[in-house]
Amino acid sequence: MPGERIGNSNQYLTISGVVSAPAYSWASDNNTGLYRIGADNIGIAANGTKVLDIATTAVTITPATTLSAALTYGGVTLSNAVTGTGNMVLSASPTLTGTTSFPGSTTIDSSGNLGIAKTTPANAVQLGNCSILGQDANSFYAGVNFSSAGNYINTNFACQTYWDQTNAATVWRTAPSGTAGNAITFTERMRLTQAGNLGIGMTPARTLDVTGTGGFSGNLNVGGTSNVATGTIGIGVANNAAVLVDGRLDANTNTYGYRSVNGSAGTAAATLAVLGNGTNALQFNMFGTAFTTSTINRQGGGLITCDGPGGLTLTTGAAQPIYFGINSTEVARILTTGTFLVAKTAQDTSTGGVSIFKSSTNNNGRIDFVKSTTGLADAIANYYSGGYVGGMTYSDTATALVTSSDERIKQNITDVSSQLLVLADIKVREFEFIADPDKRVKGFIAQELYKVAPEAVYVGTETKDGSIDRPWAVNPTALIPILVKAIQELTTRLAALEAK
């Protein structure tokens, strides 16, 4: 052939050629064929244009070329593919035989982002319109519905798992639904640190830190054996130092009784027992001898409530008082005799405060109001809508029942007319009370007095069957103005008679 020479029987040498006139071509198509681009580099030209560049470091196909048949390399077959400058797009349901099948289209863009079933990936890896893999300067993240710019991809909610290398933690975040293209504000929901601490709603400082309300269904064993009974919480080691079962905090047995969180039985050494034996909805049993050694604490304050029919019982396991305090200071106590003391620590008549108790002499109920400072003081003060209406006062020597009589709270003030006839119509009777038939007394009949001086009578009530619901009652102090007026009239008449 012109331009050829034979070096030996196994080698043929020729000229390099150029892209417009390849060294190897066809007579009818002399601008299509094989030519030498440079050292260790050959090319294939078509119609005078390079379409394939084969070098030791890369193989380049330009421009976009359709692989209508299968391309096999290393046991993997790629078919139905189109390649183009800058991007490689796998379309028309391409198949990678020997690995997996990709529905739709798969794209690797010029930034290196991979889109699976997505032609315009917004992150390092994007599956369809939602699933995302990406990274920032020091961390890696995965999730749904957010772009590398931190914007919504669609209107659904967004979530993210974030591997934070700077703080050595795995973080789970969520964001509510939003508008596509708008910025996302993620809220951290859970964090797992490198030390194995898990925080829900907070950054953990311990193995498990949780903020907010929650619930638990099933059995929970904390540091104890695995054989916790159904519906219980086991706390402790070996035999479970404390077990919460059926609303009862028990030491290490299933027996109802006085048990404590430190495992002691119902003795003075026990600290606390919480029982729920079906009779009392909630029972606190406290042992100890002083206010400061037997306490129930709830951080942040709150209420102890009981909705069950059994009520709420506070009791001690021994002959010890029950103490009440605020800010670690005692304000009241119940003695072993049942006496309730307010603002004092002993039942006496010299220390200021209130004692409510049963008299030891006749078993009757009694209230002692004790003041330790001189002067007038209120024992009982009655108010109506914030206004004082009377009560019981006591000084250093006497006690008085008082009622409000301030001119400033009265209106339409006039003189009272003659009360002699009114006084004359009041019937004074002598009788015995049915409940005390051996004692005859003088007094009034409320129904009779009501006809003459109704302001001195409290009308009683009856039940539907006619029995007494609340008996009629008399207010003797309401008769004092009548008596005073009548005496004034008699005094005037007496003075007139004496003047004659």
Identify whether 107 is part of a domain.
no
Instruction: Choose one of 42, 62, 82: the last residue of a domain.
Output: 62
Give the model's pLDDT for residue 235. 52
Domain co-membership, 235 together with 283: yes
Give the model's pLDDT for residue 420. 95
Q: Is 270 left (phi over 0), alpha (psi -120 to 50) or beta?
A: beta
Interval 330-386: pLDDT, tens: 999 999 999 999 999 999 999 999 999 998 888 899 999 999 999 999 999 999 999
Identify whether 8 is part of a domain.
yes
Global confidence as pTM: 0.43
Three-state SS string across the chain, please?
CCCCEEEECCEEECCCEECCEECEEECCEEEEEEEEEECCEEEEEECCEEEEEEECCCEEECCCEEECCCEEECCEEEEEEEECCCCEEEEEEEEEECCEECCCCEEECCCCCEEECECCCCCCEEECCCEEEEECCCCEEEEECCCCCCECCCCCCEEEEEEECCCCEEEEEEECCCCCCCECCCEEEEEEECCCCEEECCCCCCCEEECCCCCCCCCEEECCCCCCCCCEEEECCCCCCEEEECCEEECCCCCCCCCCCCCCCCCCCCCEEEECCCCCCEEEEECCCCHHHCCCCCCCCCCCCCCCCCCEEEEECCCCCEEEEECCEEEEEECCCCCEEECCCCCCCCCCEEEEEECCCCCCEEEEEECCCCCCEEEEEEEECCEEEEEEEECCCCEEEEECCCHHHCCCCCCCCCCHHHHHHCCCEEEEECCEEEEEEEECCHHHHHHHCHHHEECCEECCCCCEEECCEECHHHHHHHHHHHHHHHHHHHHHHHHC
Amino acid in position 402: V
- The residues pairing with 61 across neighbouring beta strands, listed in sequence order, are 52
171 or 237, which is more confident? 171
Domain co-membership, 239 together with 331: yes
Domain co-membership, 247 together with 354: yes
The domain of 462 spans 420-499
Domain co-membership, 256 together with 322: yes
Angle of CA points 105, 108, 113, to nearest 5°: 115
Confidence at 417, pLDDT banded by 50, 70, 90 = very high
Interval 49-58: pLDDT, tens: 998 888 887 7
- C-alpha atoms less than 13 angstroms from C-alpha of 382 in its C-beta half-sphere: 8
Domain co-membership, 457 together with 491: yes
Domain co-membership, 274 together with 341: yes
Identify whether 347 is part of a domain.
yes
Distance CA 114, CA 32 (A): 35
Instruction: Choose one of 41, 62, 83: the last residue of a domain.
Output: 62
Give the model's pLDDT for residue 463. 93
Number of C-beta neighbours around residue 7 at 10 A: 8
275 or 118, which is more confident? 118
The percent of residues above 90 in pLDDT, for the chain, comes to 42
Identify whether 487 is part of a domain.
yes
Instruction: Choose one of 62, 77, 96: the last residue of a domain.
Output: 62
Interval 178-223: pLDDT, tens: 998 899 999 999 999 999 999 998 999 889 888 887 776 666 665 5
My answer on whether omega of the bond before 437 falls inside 30° of 0, hence cis, is no
Domain co-membership, 397 together with 450: no
Identify whether 425 is part of a domain.
yes
Domain co-membership, 249 together with 279: yes
> What does the mean pLDDT of the chain come to?
77
Give the model's pLDDT for residue 354. 95
Domain co-membership, 303 together with 402: no
Number of domains in the chain: 4
Domain co-membership, 236 together with 326: yes
Identify whether 78 is part of a domain.
no
Domain co-membership, 252 together with 334: yes
Interval 230-261: pLDDT, tens: 555 555 544 444 555 444 445 444 443 334 33
Stretch 35-62: mean pLDDT: 87
CB within 8 Å of 95: residues ≥ 6 apart: 77, 78, 79, 80, 101, 102
Angle of CA points 185, 187, 189, to nearest 5°: 160
CB 389 within 8 A of CB 382: yes
Domain co-membership, 333 together with 390: no
Identify whether 343 is part of a domain.
yes
Identify whether 41 is part of a domain.
yes
